[in-house]
Amino acid sequence: MFRSHTNGELRLANVGQEVTLCGWVQKMRDKGGMIWVDLRDRYGITQLMLEEGKTDANTLQIARSLGREFVVQAKGVVVERLSKNDKIATGDIEIKVSSVEILNPAKLPPFLIEDETDGGDDVRMKYRYLDLRRNPVRNSLQLRHRMAREVRNYLDSLEFIEVETPVLIKSTPEGARDFVVPSRMNPGEFYALPQSPQTFKQLLMVSGFDRYYQIVKCFRDEDLRADRQPEFTQIDCEMAFVQQEDVLNVFEGLIKHLFKTVKNIEVGEVSRMTYAHAMKYYGSDKPDIRFGMKFVELKGEERDLTSGKDFQVFDASNLVVGINVKGASEYTRKQIDELTDFVKRPQIGAKGLVNVKYNLDGTIKSSVDKFYTEEDLKAWVAAFESEPGDLMLILSGDGDKVRKQLNELRLELGNRLGLRNPDEYSVHWVVDFPLLEYGEEENRWFAMHHPFTSPKPEDIDAMMSGDLGKVRANAYDLVVNGVEVGGGSIRIFQKDLQSKMFEVLGFTPEEAKAQFGFLLDAFEYGAPPHGGLAFGFDRLCSLFGGTESIRDFIAFPKNNAGRDVMIDSPSPLAAAQLDELKIKSTL
Amino acid sequence: MFRSHTNGELRLANVGQEVTLCGWVQKMRDKGGMIWVDLRDRYGITQLMLEEGKTDANTLQIARSLGREFVVQAKGVVVERLSKNDKIATGDIEIKVSSVEILNPAKLPPFLIEDETDGGDDVRMKYRYLDLRRNPVRNSLQLRHRMAREVRNYLDSLEFIEVETPVLIKSTPEGARDFVVPSRMNPGEFYALPQSPQTFKQLLMVSGFDRYYQIVKCFRDEDLRADRQPEFTQIDCEMAFVQQEDVLNVFEGLIKHLFKTVKNIEVGEVSRMTYAHAMKYYGSDKPDIRFGMKFVELKGEERDLTSGKDFQVFDASNLVVGINVKGASEYTRKQIDELTDFVKRPQIGAKGLVNVKYNLDGTIKSSVDKFYTEEDLKAWVAAFESEPGDLMLILSGDGDKVRKQLNELRLELGNRLGLRNPDEYSVHWVVDFPLLEYGEEENRWFAMHHPFTSPKPEDIDAMMSGDLGKVRANAYDLVVNGVEVGGGSIRIFQKDLQSKMFEVLGFTPEEAKAQFGFLLDAFEYGAPPHGGLAFGFDRLCSLFGGTESIRDFIAFPKNNAGRDVMIDSPSPLAAAQLDELKIKSTL
């Protein structure tokens, strides 16, 4: 036994006990013949104390040779501290040290092992094992563990069975790019790593497992954005003999359970919103509904309050849409310019921003006064339901494109006005997604979710008759604070409908059979109706942790080039390895 | 809602209730105007009943069109059964059906979906989703789920943290062959899939995680034997500030917890046996100690009871060793011949088998009577501590080679004599494994466990002076009923010792740095003493399930050629995929 206690557990009740502690040197003070050492481990910090003249000379000498992050074992007796430290749980006591042993010395770390560190991203990635020593990072991973545990508690209580599905599977052309694995035993052939266990969980439903889940690694070989990882973790779930409502009920239950057990927050009612509604009123399929500022259309399908006044910009647009910003009528020219610059940034791409101020004195002032009379503007004010003191911000252009621009502006204002409180949580479903979306570049239809998603029964006729843009899916996303944390669908379970879906996606019958023959076969041997969903576990953890980045919730993340800079991977292989695999580089 | 109840939950108390059930048609009887349908789901079987003249004609017609494995929804009222079926939990009731809907028809399955099936291995692998419908297979996977849950319960209660380590890591030359993954973003470079998270869990100890575990997929590209899978699951664990005894205590606690909670079996004391003892007395590093029959050496290091009698076979051997089979003196010539044939099989490779019968009448009769007097044989009897009625079986040859042969014979006799009762469990540790083993072919030393295993402190001098065969490791295996279910070691945590280990294994300093530089670096920044182990989870499950094969405990296993015959993987890639990865086939 290296230690009798951890550094987090000694209290006044232990005073007088002989103890042995182990840990890392967090910091040291050597002053006036007294030496204090803060000894750290995962459980806490305990103060060691040595005293010139009382502690034996050899032990004092060892203590004086210690440096930051040395690993030491100290023996001594627990004594009450004269000056208590109420910042740490062990702050009432310290250890009067009788002996110290250095278990392993440490070079000076390349950055401070403190909650606030001086290390940049790159050095912290290279020395990830040191960054993981810092409390915020370790706490993030402990939170992740607790969340995984509560996910399992909840799903186990509902008789879900966790089943491991294979990692070495088959490459499929649909969806994102696969990582592939050459097979040595089957030369010229490759496995693929799963982007999700989608078909396997559906087969488990065909097998009668009834309720399946898995917390499982998935893989996508995509160009990495700041917050994407080539390997990520899903909470993957599927249920048989269910309709959409059954699935929504079970999994809003899961999210409520997590909020309750992990954060002690009671989530209220989980509302539902159609995709059409979300796009029309928020310009996003994952609206943040912690605040209002819903879109108001001045010109659109329902009305036109802008045309015929010689304002070419609006006249040339099929949609004129804006938001009403409460109490912002006194925004300065500079503030308005900032917002205009914001929407004109290339990644947003608006041409300009129209503003209408409904001043506290009742007057109305707009950036388009040249074209619109006060009467016109009063009609706008009525449409926006503005009150004196409000500011209306208006964009125009082409349908969903301008809605997406306005969504960015709405979120930006939400941030500026402090309406997106990270300690407040809104949880809701977006439902009735389109089944298909058209790829202009590729000139064909793509599955919006994936090829196994079921059309709504009432839209199957439209699908059969080729009116593909009209077909809605039994698909749903769970949105928390404007972040999509999960999504799923009721699946197709009939061979004919699944074949039709593949046809719509441009598969020949031969291609469908070669890629998904096993699933089509399975549907002929008694497949039950089924559906499910998957949560992005990394993102869910970061949301619960109150940060934007998922990296701190992954023990050993990769950088934006897909590299693990700590172990220096990927790396070249020995020629003999490639020979055995019957492949070679074409570089 | 597709159903109001599952097929496992209705009882007499539900009589009179209107219910809706869903499931698969297990079987049907249509006799004398009555139709009975057994409706199956994961939870059980409920009997449906329809009656000519009472059930409406349309419903009767649908019922008569049902076939095995059709998926149906049935509505009706719960009634008490006239003839109870006490084999099923719902056997007191049946459903008087008012309507039946076919949710999905089914083709006739290619094999019987019954506990005892008529399907051969190949067809059951191809239609794995149908094989998974059978109770024994589904029960195996439910057992697996329960075991994973209890593993987590136990380790969580001891403050272990489950941390996910990466799947895309770096290829290393030591150990088994890696599966590799070409990197598109880093052309010419490859990731490898982990054979175990060994170095990552050690880094987590350097990070101060203190107690880590993970139930994790691992990968080895080895030629597959009957009971190996290219991907398999480990319970992977590591602890800081521990000595060997601490690790053994925690994990024999785990195995006891599993036996108690999953099988309601109290495992007694978990004994320890050195590797040297196991080899000397059982010829195996994983002896089955449910029965005795320990080896007795007639000629060896301690004595020689065989030489100088002109029996060339023994004289030419450095080891003559046997077992005493209780009450087997009356084995017939045929039985002895069978055992002789057994040990002469090529995979065992003995040249012959000497037998000595200590008959019930006190006479001794042996197959080497020509060479040994009764006096000689009496000395043997004394060495074996034989009693009248016993049979001694003796092999000779070269050290550990003959011990391994005798191990096979001992296990075979254990089987024949019914001494290996699958419902009786012996659990013990084998400790003090050699650190290194010599590869005659490769003409160099290999790590017996892995390069991170610590030598015993008292054997470090031998290691430094190059007496490598003498060096024992702080390594241990957990053995249940002669099966190695887990193993681990106390690790090296000092940079110098780790460097020495790499040197012994033939790494140049440059190679060691290129492959494991991150670990050597980490050891310089305050690495604590640590150790751990890993359990083979698939094997552990099969052991608890009482079967030899691990396949039924894996939802979608691969065959001996590493193929998933259900999804037909691995498979060729599209040329464009290979182009993007900058690799090509050399076939």
Question: Does any domain span residue A560?
Answer: no
Residue A395: other Cβ atoms inside 10 A: 27
**Token pair of A441, please?**
């570049």
Question: Does any domain span residue B496?
Answer: yes
A485 has a pLDDT exceeding 80:
yes
Structure-token match 């893989």, residue found: A219
Q: How does strand B44-51 pair with strand B93-104?
A: parallel
Mutant choice from B191, B221, B442, B563 vs A, greatest count of A C-beta within 10 A: B191
Pairwise CA distance, residues B239 & B246, whole Å: 9
> Of B307, B355, B367, nearest to B329 (Cα)?
B355
Whichever domain contains A261, its CATH number is 3.30.930.10
Is residue A161 domain-shared with residue A257, that is, in the same domain? Answer: yes
A449 is in an annotated binding site: yes
DSSP character string of A23-74: EEEEEEEEETTEEEEEEEETTEEEEEEEETTTS-HHHHHHHHT--TT-EEEE
Is residue B431 domain-shared with residue B397, that is, in the same domain? Answer: no
A416 is in an annotated binding site: no
Is residue B196 domain-shared with residue B315, that is, in the same domain? Answer: no
The model's confidence at residue B463, banded by pLDDT at 50, 70 and 90, is very high
**Token pair of B328, please?**
């087997």
Instruction: Classify residue B422 by burial, with Cβ atoms within 10 Å: 0-12, 13-18, 19+.
Output: exposed
Which candidate from A41, A69, A203 shows the least CB-CB separation from B210? Answer: A41
Non-local (6+) Cβ contacts of B467 within 8 A are none
B229 is in an annotated binding site: yes
Q: pLDDT tens digits, residue range A36-82? A: 999 999 999 999 999 999 999 999 999 999 999 999 999 999 999 98
Contact B124, B117 (CB under 8 A): yes
Peptide bond into B570 cis (omega under 30): yes
* DSSP percent split of chain A into helix, strand, coil, nearest 5: 30, 25, 40
DSSP SS3 for B436: strand
Cβ contact B243–A2 (<8 Å): yes
Search chain B and give the residue with CA nearest A528. Answer: B71
Average of per-residue pLDDT across B459-487: 95
Is residue B252 domain-shared with residue B300, that is, in the same domain? Answer: no
Non-local (6+) Cβ contacts of A126 within 8 A are A565, A566
Residue B189: other Cβ atoms inside 10 A: 23
Search chain A and give the residue with CA nearest B2. Answer: A241
Q: pLDDT tens digits, residue range B234-276? A: 999 999 999 999 999 999 999 999 999 999 999 999 999 999 9
CA atoms within 13 A on the CB side of B11: 3
Cβ contact A179–B163 (<8 Å): no
Angle in degrees, CA A373, A377, A378, rounded to 5: 115
Search chain B and give the residue with CA nearest A40. Answer: B208
Mutant choice from B1, B128, B207 vs A, greatest count of A C-beta within 10 A: B207
Search chain B and give the residue with CA nearest A246. Answer: B1
Contact B185, A562 (CB under 8 A): yes
Domain termination residue (choose one: B382, B416, B450): B416
Structure-token match 């998922």, residue found: A550
Q: How does strand B296-299 pair with strand B71-80?
A: unpaired
Pairwise CA distance, residues A466 & A463, whole Å: 5
Cβ contact B584–A587 (<8 Å): no
The model's confidence at residue B213, banded by pLDDT at 50, 70 and 90, is very high
Q: According to the model, what pLDDT value does residue B49 have?
A: 97
What domain count does chain A have?
Answer: 3
Question: Does any domain span residue B519?
Answer: yes
Cβ contact A171–B106 (<8 Å): no
Is residue B241 domain-shared with residue B152, that is, in the same domain? Answer: yes
Question: Rounded to a whole number, what is the distance in Å from the CA of B126 to chain A's nearest CA?
Answer: 9
Contact B313, B351 (CB under 8 A): yes
A153 has a pLDDT exceeding 90:
yes
B446 has a pLDDT exceeding 90:
yes
The model's confidence at residue A422, banded by pLDDT at 50, 70 and 90, is confident
Containing domain of residue B72, as a range?
Answer: 12-104
Which candidate from A142, A241, A518 shows the least CB-CB separation from B567? Answer: A518
> Of A255, A406, A271, nearest to A325 (Cα)?
A406
Mutant choice from B127, B181, B201, B492 vs A, greatest count of A C-beta within 10 A: B181
Which candidate from B2, B106, B208 shows the least CB-CB separation from A243? Answer: B2
Cβ contact B104–A527 (<8 Å): yes
Contact A390, A326 (CB under 8 A): yes
Average of per-residue pLDDT across B475-504: 97
Structure-token match 């469908």, residue found: A512
The rounded radius of gyration (Å) of the Cα atoms in chain A is 30
Which of chain B's residues have a Cβ under 8 Å away from the Cβ of A127?
521, 525
Search chain B and give the residue with CA nearest A73. Answer: B241
DSSP character string of B128-189: HHHHTTSHHHHHHHHHHHHHHHHHHHHHHHTT-EE-PPPSSB---SSSSPPPEEE-SSSTT-
Query: Which H or E run contains B190?
Result: strand B190-192
Question: Rounded to a whole number, what is the distance in Å from the CA of B526 to chain A's nearest CA?
Answer: 5
CA atoms within 13 A on the CB side of A543: 22
Question: Does any domain span residue B233?
Answer: yes
DSSP SS3 for B199: helix
C-alpha distance from residue B255 to each of B261, B288, B366, B425 (Å)? 10, 17, 45, 11
The rounded radius of gyration (Å) of the Cα atoms in chain B is 30
ipTM of the complex: 0.95
Question: Does any domain span residue A192?
Answer: yes
Question: Does any domain span residue B62?
Answer: yes
Beta strands in A206-316 (DSSP E): 211-219, 231-240, 271-274, 296-299
**Token pair of A530, please?**
């089924």
Whichever domain contains A86, its CATH number is 2.40.50.140
Pairwise CA distance, residues A92 & A14, whole Å: 10
Peptide bond into A529 cis (omega under 30): no
Non-local (6+) Cβ contacts of A42 within 8 A are A6, A8, A138, B208, B209, B210
Structure-token match 């459980």, residue found: A43
Higher pLDDT, B407 or A222: B407
Is residue A65 domain-shared with residue A97, that is, in the same domain? Answer: yes
A226 has a pLDDT exceeding 70:
no
Question: Rounded to a whole number, what is the distance in Å from the CA of B579 to chain A's nearest CA?
Answer: 8
Non-local (6+) Cβ contacts of A443 within 8 A are none
The model's confidence at residue B226, banded by pLDDT at 50, 70 and 90, is low
Mutant choice from B25, B185, B232 vs A, greatest count of A C-beta within 10 A: B185
Is residue A257 domain-shared with residue A305, that is, in the same domain? Answer: no
Residue A175: other Cβ atoms inside 10 A: 14
Structure-token match 């002690």, residue found: A264
Search chain A and give the residue with CA nearest B206. Answer: A129
Is residue B361 domain-shared with residue B386, that is, in the same domain? Answer: yes
Q: According to the model, what pLDDT value does residue B422 have?
A: 82
Question: Does any domain span residue B109?
Answer: no
Is residue B296 domain-shared with residue B380, that is, in the same domain? Answer: yes
B535 is in an annotated binding site: no
Is residue B470 domain-shared with residue B496, that is, in the same domain? Answer: yes
Q: According to the model, what pLDDT value does residue A217 have?
A: 98
Three-class SS of B392-425: EEEEEECHHHHHHHHHHHHHHHHHHCCCCCCCCC
pTM: 0.95
Whichever domain contains A295, its CATH number is 3.30.1360.30
The model's confidence at residue A1, banded by pLDDT at 50, 70 and 90, is confident
Domain termination residue (choose one: B53, B88, B104): B104
Average of per-residue pLDDT across A272-300: 97
Pairwise CA distance, residues B14 & A173, whole Å: 51
The model's confidence at residue B444, banded by pLDDT at 50, 70 and 90, is very high
The alpha carbon of residue A244 and the mean position of all alpha carbons in its chain are separated, in whole angstroms, by 24
Percent with pLDDT over 70 in chain B:
100
B9 has a pLDDT exceeding 90:
yes
Provide φ and ψ at B34, rounded to 5°: -110, 140
Cβ contact B584–A584 (<8 Å): yes
Contact A402, A299 (CB under 8 A): no
How many Cβ contacts (< 8 angstroms) between chains A and B? 346
Higher pLDDT, A442 or B403: B403
Q: pLDDT tens digits, residue range B119-177? A: 899 999 999 999 999 999 999 999 999 999 999 999 999 999 999 999 999 998 777 89
Question: Rounded to a whole number, what is the distance in Å from the CA of B329 to chain A's nearest CA?
Answer: 49
Which candidate from B1, B191, B209 shows the least CB-CB separation from A246? Answer: B1
CA atoms within 13 A on the CB side of A581: 27
B433 is in an annotated binding site: no
Higher pLDDT, B224 or A574: A574
Pairwise CA distance, residues B501 & B468, whole Å: 11
The alpha carbon of residue B151 and the mean position of all alpha carbons in its chain are separated, in whole angstroms, by 16
Is residue B437 domain-shared with residue B538, that is, in the same domain? Answer: yes
C-alpha distance from residue B433 to each of B196, B295, B437, B474, B485 (Å)? 20, 20, 10, 7, 16
Non-local (6+) Cβ contacts of B585 within 8 A are A187, A188, A582, A583, B578
The alpha carbon of residue A317 and the mean position of all alpha carbons in its chain are separated, in whole angstroms, by 35
B225 has a pLDDT exceeding 90:
no
DSSP SS3 for A283: coil
Contact A323, A414 (CB under 8 A): no
Pairwise CA distance, residues A329 & A389, whole Å: 5
Q: According to the model, what pLDDT value does residue A225 have?
A: 72
The alpha carbon of residue A357 and the mean position of all alpha carbons in its chain are separated, in whole angstroms, by 37
Q: pLDDT tens digits, residue range A14-28? A: 999 999 999 999 999
Which candidate from B493, B563, B577 shows the least CB-CB separation from A180? Answer: B577
| Residues paired with B525 in a beta bridge | A106
DSSP SS3 for A497: helix
A150 is in an annotated binding site: no
Which of chain A's residues have a Cβ under 8 Å away from the Cβ of B132?
203-204, 207-209
Is residue B447 domain-shared with residue B470, that is, in the same domain? Answer: yes
The model's confidence at residue A173, banded by pLDDT at 50, 70 and 90, is confident
Cβ contact B204–A133 (<8 Å): no
Q: According to the model, what pLDDT value does residue B227 have?
A: 74
Cβ contact A570–B183 (<8 Å): yes
Question: Does any domain span residue A132?
Answer: no
> What order of strands is seen across the sheet that includes strand A354-358?
A296-299, A319-325, A390-397, A354-358, A364-366
Which of chain B's residues have a Cβ under 8 Å away from the Cβ of A111?
none
